[in-house]
Structure 1
C-alpha cells in the first residue's frame, strides 16, 4: 500500500496525470468502492452514504463515529486497538477521497505499522505512548512526511519526496499519533477554494456542487466525511476558518508562535509580513481544546525557535462577558442565513446575561487592503517561478498573483510600518472598548457554489492582527423558507451585491451555518473558553 513513485519527466499534464494515478493506486483494492455501491454523481449530499451503503461494518461505523477525545480515552484503556481504529479510518478516508477528491497522499503501510507498535507498547507496559496514543490524525499537504511528496498543488513538486517529517508531525507522533493521509490544497495554498492543476477540485461532501473552502479544504471534506477524527491545517488569510465554516466544523486560528511551523513547505517561501500558522480542525470544540493542550504540553518551543515558551494556561472568565458584535465588515453584508444566525446568537447571549456592544467596522477595509498588498508584494514571483519550472499555467483563481507588481524594499518597509500602526490602533480601540471578544461572521455566507467564492476580509483582517480566532458551528442550518434576501437589502458595494444576489436559498437549504469569535493575540485559551459559553447559550431553550 505504499505510494508509487511518480516519474517527473514529460509535460506538466503528464506529470499531474501520473501523480493522480499514483494516488489512486495507493488505495488497496479492498478499500475501493464497488461500482454498484457508488452514489450517483448527481447525489449532492454524500455524508449519509457510509451509514447507508452497507459497505462499512458495524464496527467500522462505530469507530469512525466517535470524536477524537472519545477515541483517545478508549485507546488509552485498551478498549480499542489502534490497528483496528487506524484501518477503519484508512478505509473511510479512501472512501471520502473517491467521493470528494480530498486526499493528496497516503501512507497506509506506515500507519498500520505505527498502530501495531502502539498496541504492542500498551500491551507490554500497560501505559499509552502519550496523550494522543494510537489516534489517527490527518495532515494538510504542506506538512512534510518522510517518503511522501509535498506538492502544494504544483506539478513541479511531484516526485520530490520529503526526506524527513515536519516538526509538528514529529511532535504529534511522539505524543502517540498515527499518520495515514495528507489532504488536498489549492495551488500554493493561496485560494479560498481547494482546486489545483494536479489533483483537481475537492468537493463539499454536504453538497458536492458547493465548495469545501480553502486552503485547508481537503481537511474539511475528509473530517466532514468522518474519514478523520481530527486534522491539522494552516491559516494565512482564513485557510482554516473558511473551510471549517463551509462544512460546519470547529477550528482554532492560533497566534504566531503557539504551534510549531518548522520544516513545513510554503507556497510563497520567505513571505513573513503575514505569517502562516497551523491549527486543528474537528467536529467538536472539545477536540480543538484537547489537541491544543496536547501540542503545548509537548513544549514545542524546544523543537521550533519560532515557538513561544507558553504552556497552556487556565482561564478565569468574568461571569458576564462583554462581546462586541460586528454585523458586517463595512464591505459585504452577510447573506440571510448568516445574518439570522448572528442575530439569534446575540439575542441568546443577551438573555444569558452577557453585555453586547456594537463594533464599528471602520478599520476592516484598511486591514484587508494591507493584507492583500503584503501577500502580493513579490509580484507573484514565488508562484510564477514554481509554475514555470514545469511549464504549468496560472489558474484563473490566481489572477491577482499573475498580474501583481513587485514592491521594492523601501515600499515594503513602508507597508510594514502601516501594518504596525494598524495593529496599534486596533488594539487601542479594543482596550478602550473594554471588550472580551468580537463576534462576527466567519465568511459572508454559509458556503457557495464551486468556483464562486468571494471576499476573505472577515477572516483575513485577524491574520494581519495575529489574533486568536475560533470558527464554530452554530447548530443552525439554512432554511430556504425564511432565509430569503430582504427586499429592503442595500448593497455596500459591487462585491456585496454580487454575493447576495448569487445566494441560492434552495441550493443552501439544510447546510450548516458558522460564526467567528475573535480574541486578542495569544488568547487561545480564552477564545476557546468563551466559545464554550457561546455554545452553552445557543443550546439554551428559547
Structure 2
C-alpha cells in the first residue's frame, strides 16, 4: 500500500513539472526576439530535489514534506530562467541529504549509469546519474561535504562547488538550517567543463541573482582570469596521511599531474597541513547538535538504509561515549563521529576558533608555495555498492576538507578502473575497518569512472575553471595520441 501511495505521488509531481516546463518553454518562444540572444536560451536544466522549483515539492526524501509545493523558485532557478534556461526536472537525493548514497523511501534509489550495481553518490546523486547517463546537459546541485563532487567522480562527469557566498542559497533547503562552521555551497554538474562554465558565467553575469539575494557580494564573472594563458603553479598530493586512496584513484592523480605538466604548467609537490586535526574539526562541527535535528526529522518516517547510522549518532552522551570506545577498537576514524567535543556553546566556539586557525595555516602553506590551484584525489575509491556509503563515512574527509576551508573545488573525469588497478588493490592497507570496507567495496569495480579534484583559494572560481578546462583539454589530447 505504501509503495502504491508513493507511486501516485510520483505521478502527480511528474505531471506538475511537465506542465510547468511546457509553460516556461512556451513563454520563451513568445518573448521578444532579443530574448533568443540569452546565453542559456532554451537549455534544459535539471535541478536537485532540495532546491525550490515553483509548484513542486521539496521533500529531502521525507514524507512529512510532501504536498507542500514551493510557492516560488530558488534564486538560482530564477536566475537561470532569466538567462533563458528551462528547468525540466528535479533529481533524487538521499533521505535528509546528508549521506553520499542516493536513496529515500519517497522517490526510491538512484543507481550509477556506468554500473547499476553501484551508487551514483550523493547527495546530488540524481544529478550525477542523469548527467552521466546523458539525460541532462547541465544540472544544479549543492555541496555540504562533497555532495556535488562525489557524484561527479562516481558518474564520470564534471562537478564544481563554489565558495560559500558566491552563489545564492536562497531557496536551497538544508536539514541543518542553523549550521555554522561548515555550510553548504551551490554547485553545477555538466558533461564537460565548458557547459559548467557557461552555467556559472550566466548566473554571475546576468545580475538577476544579485537582485534576488542582496546578501551576496556582487562579484560578477571575471573573464580575464578564465582566459589568462600564463602558466599556473599546480600543487599536488595523492596522500593526505589519514585516509589512503585506492590504486586507481592514485593513478588518476598521476595522469592528471602529467597532463598539467604537458600543458605547460609548473608542478609543485604539496602536503596539506595536519589533515587528522582537520577531520577532528569536521566531525566536531557536523555533530555539534548531537544528531538531534536529523533525529527529529526522522520521527515518524520510514528510515532509509542509506542513513541508518544517524540513529546511532543521536543518543545521550554516556551512551555515545561507550559506543565511541567500542568502535575505536576497529575504526578510530569512525569513532570520531561519536564525538561530543562541540555539544555546548563554549565548546563550539572553541572548535570554530580552531577551524579559523587551521584555515589560516592551510592558506599560509598554500601561499608559501605560490600555488594557483591544487590537484588531489576526488575520493578514496570509485563508486561503491549502495550499502557502503553509510559504513564508510570517514571517506568524506577527501572532499570535506575543502568545505571546512571554504575553498572552491571541482572534479574532472580522468580515467576508469582497470584490471591492473584491481590487482594492486591487494596491497591497499587495512589498519582501520574503514579501509577494509573501502578495499571490499572497490573489488570488481573495473570500468568505473575515476576523477580528480582541483581546488582554488576562496572567490577564485574563474581561475579554478581555467585549470579544469586546461586539464580536460590536455587529457583529450593524450587520449587521441594513445
Give the TM-score range, shorter chain.
0.7 to 0.9
For the structure 1 residues 261 and 363, does the alpha-carbon distance in structure 2 shift closer, same or farther, using more than 3 Å as the test?
same
Match of residue 18 from structure 1: 5
Q: Are 1:273 and 2:181 counterparts?
A: yes
- Secondary structure of residue in 2 paired with 1:179: strand
- Work out whether residues 367 and 461 of structure 1, in 8 Å CA contact, stay in contact via their aligned partners in 2: yes
For the structure 1 residues 129 and 386, does the alpha-carbon distance in structure 2 shift closer, same or farther, using more than 3 Å as the test?
farther
For the structure 1 residues 518 and 162, does the alpha-carbon distance in structure 2 shift closer, same or farther, using more than 3 Å as the test?
same
For the structure 1 residues 440 and 344, does the alpha-carbon distance in structure 2 shift closer, same or farther, using more than 3 Å as the test?
same
- Normalising to structure 1: TM-score of the pair? 0.78
For the structure 1 residues 126 and 408, does the alpha-carbon distance in structure 2 shift closer, same or farther, using more than 3 Å as the test?
closer
Provide the rounded CA distance (Å) in 2 between the counterparts of 1:205 and 1:352. Answer: 31
CA deviation digits over 1:390-432, x for unaligned, max 9?
A: 3544741424543465711111111111110111111011111
Q: Are 1:523 and 2:460 counterparts?
A: yes
* RMSD (Å) for aligned C-alpha atoms: 2.2
Q: Which has the higher contact order (CA 8 A, sep 6+)?
A: 2
Provide the rounded CA distance (Å) in 1 between the counterparts of 2:68 and 2:39. Answer: 32
Match of residue 107 from structure 1: 17
Map 1:322-361 to 2 at 5 A.
Answer: 322-361=233-272
Provide the rounded CA distance (Å) in 2 between the counterparts of 1:119 and 1:160. Answer: 30
Provide the rounded CA distance (Å) in 2 between the counterparts of 1:480 and 1:312. Answer: 43
Match of residue 70 from structure 1: none
- Work out whether residues 145 and 400 of structure 2, in 8 Å CA contact, stay in contact via their aligned partners in 1: yes
Match of residue 288 from structure 2: 377
CA offset at residue 226 of structure 1? Answer: 2.0
Provide the rounded CA distance (Å) in 2 between the counterparts of 1:351 and 1:386. Answer: 51
CA offset at residue 279 of structure 1? Answer: 1.3
Q: Are 1:484 and 2:423 counterparts?
A: yes
Select 2:373's aligned residue among 418, 432, 437: 437
CA offset at residue 333 of structure 1? Answer: 1.8
Structure 2 stretches of 5 or more lacking a match?
A: 316-337
CA offset at residue 273 of structure 1? Answer: 2.1
- Normalising to structure 2: TM-score of the pair? 0.87
Q: Are 1:243 and 2:171 counterparts?
A: no
- Secondary structure of residue in 1 paired with 2:314: helix
Structure 1 segments (4+ residues) deviating >6 Å? none
* Worse-matched range after superposition: 356-365 or 413-422: 356-365
- Work out whether residues 331 and 493 of structure 1, in 8 Å CA contact, stay in contact via their aligned partners in 2: no
Provide the rounded CA distance (Å) in 1 between the counterparts of 2:268 and 2:412. Answer: 20
CA deviation digits over 1:40-95, x for unaligned, max 9?
A: xxxxxxxxxxxxxxxxxxxxxxxxxxxxxxxxxxxxxxxxxxxxxxxxxxxxxxxx
For the structure 1 residues 509 and 250, does the alpha-carbon distance in structure 2 shift closer, same or farther, using more than 3 Å as the test?
same
Map 1:189-338 to 2 at 5 A.
Answer: 189-299=97-207, 300-313=209-222, 314-315=224-225, 317=228, 319-338=230-249
Q: Are 1:500 and 2:439 counterparts?
A: yes
- Secondary structure of residue in 1 paired with 2:452: strand
CA offset at residue 363 of structure 1? Answer: 2.1
- Secondary structure of residue in 1 paired with 2:182: coil
Match of residue 457 from structure 1: 397
CA offset at residue 200 of structure 1? Answer: 2.4
Structure 1 stretches of 5 or more lacking a match?
A: 1-12, 29-105
Map 1:56-205 to 2 at 5 A.
Answer: 107-121=17-31, 125=33, 127-128=35-36, 130-205=38-113
* Worse-matched range after superposition: 236-245 or 142-151: 142-151
Map 1:29-44 to 2 at 5 A.
Answer: none
- Secondary structure of residue in 2 paired with 1:131: coil
- Secondary structure of residue in 1 paired with 2:117: coil
Select 2:412's aligned residue among 441, 463, 472: 472
* Worse-matched range after superposition: 286-295 or 192-201: 192-201
- Work out whether residues 156 and 387 of structure 1, in 8 Å CA contact, stay in contact via their aligned partners in 2: no
- Secondary structure of residue in 2 paired with 1:107: helix
CA offset at residue 354 of structure 1? Answer: 2.9
CA offset at residue 362 of structure 1? Answer: 4.0
- Work out whether residues 129 and 175 of structure 1, in 8 Å CA contact, stay in contact via their aligned partners in 2: no
- Work out whether residues 151 and 158 of structure 1, in 8 Å CA contact, stay in contact via their aligned partners in 2: yes
- Secondary structure of residue in 1 paired with 2:170: coil
Match of residue 472 from structure 2: 535
